[in-house]
Structure 1
Amino acid sequence: MQKKNTLVEKERNRQDLGFGTKMTDRRTRLITKNGQFNVKRVGQSFDAWLNTYNRLITISWIKFFFLVLFVYLLLNLSFAYLYYLIGVEHLAGVDMTNTHSQFWDAFFFSAQSLTTVGYGRIAPIGFAASFVAGLESLAGLMMFAIITGLLYGRFSRPNPRILFSKNALIAPYLDTNALMFRMVNEKSNQIINMEVSLVFSKVEEKNGVRNRQYYGLTLERSKVNFFPTNWTIVHAITEDSPFYGETPETLAAADAEFMIATQGIDDTFADAVHKRHSYFHDELVWGGKFKPMLENDGEESYILDLRKIHDYDLVALN
């Protein structure tokens, strides 16, 4: 009974980021390079898969504007076709000289009704045309209310642009070596109370069973009050480090990955922001030292060159 309780307590205290121990496939990252979890869901309900609000908030601005334009044109074409089926003679002011001009007059009347502009040159006559125009005005009010809400949500949503160096380095540090990577806030707005955590994940085999294990790595500094320039994250590889004794070969055999989680407060939105990143074992450079990014402009300011975030020199390790 005592042994069972000990095993239960050990399992309870085992570190796990939420990925579990069975994700052991070769060459498969747990976190993709864009910071997303590398998990694809199947068997979802259509509503859960669609996830409309999240999709419309998170898609790129170009896709968002093209989607709005597509919906706008689709609605106008649909209502123009309805007016055309009812008969353009029920739209006073339509140019009746040819079919082409009749349809486009119906289309632009639809645009005026949808946006509630109403220039007055064309007006519906009879119940059917007036009813469709009323429905279109309602559809327009709803559509623009939704678009306005989405625009507000997109503008008010904090979107941190934290850049990470392409490679993590194994570099000389004091009288030992250290695992280092560099990060910087690309935007001009400020992030305060910035925190970073680093987890070393690798596959271990015991009694013929492969399980993924997770080890939190102690950082030289895990929090800063201000984040105005670049920040080099350092984990000293001492004898008590879970990374101690690892080589490129052992890391490759264990499908090792280093997962990073950052969080801070964006002073523009006064809201929490976070960013994820990871380095796979083959993205480590053994024997490197980052080049400086910060320099004085010779007057009263400092220059932070973001283009240098990935630059490093090859050096000998301790």
Structure 2
Amino acid sequence: MALFNRLNLRAKSLVNTGFGSSASSYGGRFINKDGSVNAVKKGVGALDRISWYHTMLDMSSWKFLSILLLFYVTINFVFALLYFAIGIEHLNGIATTDNEWVQFGQAYFFSAQTFTTVGYGHISPTGFYTSALSSAEALIGLLSFAIATGLFFGRFSKPSIFLKFSKNAVIAPFNDGKALMFRLAPYKNTNYIDAEVNVTLGMRIEENGVMTNKFYTLDLEYQRINSLALSWTLVHPITSESPLWELVSSDYDSILGEIIVIIKTFDDMFSTTVATRTSYTFEEVVYGAKFKPMYTRSDNNKSTILDLGLLNSFDKVLMD
């Protein structure tokens, strides 16, 4: 209750955040560090709950390629088992041997050639069942490669935002006072213009004996910039209008709060608006620190060097 009394009640709380006000219904943070919503959906089946297309587009490259490779190996293994079950004698051209592993290996590579429609020709199916199975495998192979090609195109053509956020936010000196700061920077050779940020503060506080979620808009020194070419430090001046006005250093260690950041910008390569989000819990806010500069002029004074390795670097400072 003492913390509630120190909050700046003149700051108007929001009711349209989409997160709800009942703190007892929430577990953990509102937004994960990677920008995903920290919610698990239940009440419907897994196939209805997950969009496999979106999942395949959003997963990391190594997972995507691993799934394709696993699918390719597995489906050829299954078809090789079926050919082997029908009878290896129905695959004309397989070398005669008493070693069943060698025969299975040849059936496996025949399956791979049929699945990819390569068909080198030294092995061919004979008999109705083997011919029908190889025809079905060729069709499945064509459809599978069409789907894989579509997924590859979707991954390469999907507009993505390539921004990194600082790991921590800081409370730093600012204009004879203090301010909440965090920063971001583009990390690939992309061109972003008309970048705009919305920052919302969410806190779980006890009000009239009940734990309640309170949300506030945090006004920024600059909420929009024309070009996002270098690092951008977002600054929320902690003035008498800020909900953080009377909070002291110890409060940031005890508050169950979260700073939700949503940024959208225009990618002139794709001619479309892209967006991302992240959040900082109060445990990730460093009181009494300031960020180190990230960019400087080159040795020949003809370009600017942006050091992305300094994105999370800060110095501790003394504060009242």
Cα distance in 1 for residues equivalent to 2:110 and 2:217: 64
Instruction: Work out whether residues 26 and 255 of structure 1, in 8 Å CA contact, stay in contact via their aligned partners in 2.
Output: no
Residues 16 and 213, structure 1, Cα contact 8 Å, conserved in 2: no
TM-score when normalising by structure 1: 0.90
Aligned residue number for residue 88 of structure 2: 88
Q: Which runs of 5+ in 2 are unaligned?
A: 1-12
RMSD: 1.9
Q: In the alignment, residue 146 of structure 1 is paired with which amino acid? A: I
**Helix, strand or coil for the counterpart of 2:256?**
coil
Deviations 1:44-75 (A, max 9, x none): 22322342212222222111111111111111
1:263·1:273 contact (CA, 8 Å) conserved in 2? yes
Aligned-pair distance for 1:281? 1.1
> 1:37 aligned to 2:37?
yes
Q: Residue in 1 aligned with 2:212? A: 211
- Measure the CA separation in 1 of the matches of 2:270 and 2:183: 25
Q: Who is 2:113 aligned against?
A: 112
1:161 CA displacement: 2.7
Going from structure 1 to structure 2, the CA distance change for 1:25 and 1:177 (only over 3 Å counts) comes to farther
1:270 corresponds in structure 2 to 271
Which residue number corresponds to residue 187 of structure 2?
186
Compute the displacement of 1:14 (Å).
Answer: 4.0
What are the within-5 Å matches in structure 2 for residues 220-299 of structure 1? 220-299=221-300
In the other structure, the counterpart of 2:157 is 156
Query: Deviation of residue 296 (structure 1)?
Result: 0.9
Contact 2:159–2:270 under 8 Å retained in 1: yes
The structural deviation recorded for 1:269 is: 2.3
Select the structure with the greater relative contact order (CA < 8 A; seq sep ≥ 6): 2
Paired with 1:253 and 1:307, the residues of 2 have a C-alpha distance of 30
Residue equivalent to 2:312: 310
Say if 1:217 and 1:241, in contact at 8 Å, map to a contact too: yes
TM superposition shift of 1:194: 0.9
Tell me the CA shift for residue 295 of structure 1.
0.8
Cα distance in structure 2, aligned partners of 1:234 and 1:173:
9
Relative distance call for 1:160 and 1:14 in structure 2 (3 A) is: closer
Q: Distance in 2 between matches of 1:50 and 1:56?
A: 11
User: Aligned-pair distance for 1:254?
Assistant: 3.8
Letter in 2 for 1:132: L
Does the 8 A contact of 2:195 with 2:224 survive in 1?
yes
CA shift, 1:270, in A, is 2.3
C-alpha distance after superposition, 1:90-125 (max 9, x if no partner): 211111223232222211111111111011111111
Pair 134,234 (structure 1): closer, same or farther in 2 beyond 3 Å: same
Contact 2:292 2:313 in 1 (8 A): yes
Other-structure match for 1:140: 141
SS at match of 2:250: helix
- TM-score between both structures, scaled by the size of structure 2: 0.90
Percent of matched pairs sharing the same residue: 39
Deviates more, 1:132-141 or 1:67-76: 67-76
Partners of 1:23 and 1:58 in 2: how far apart?
Answer: 30
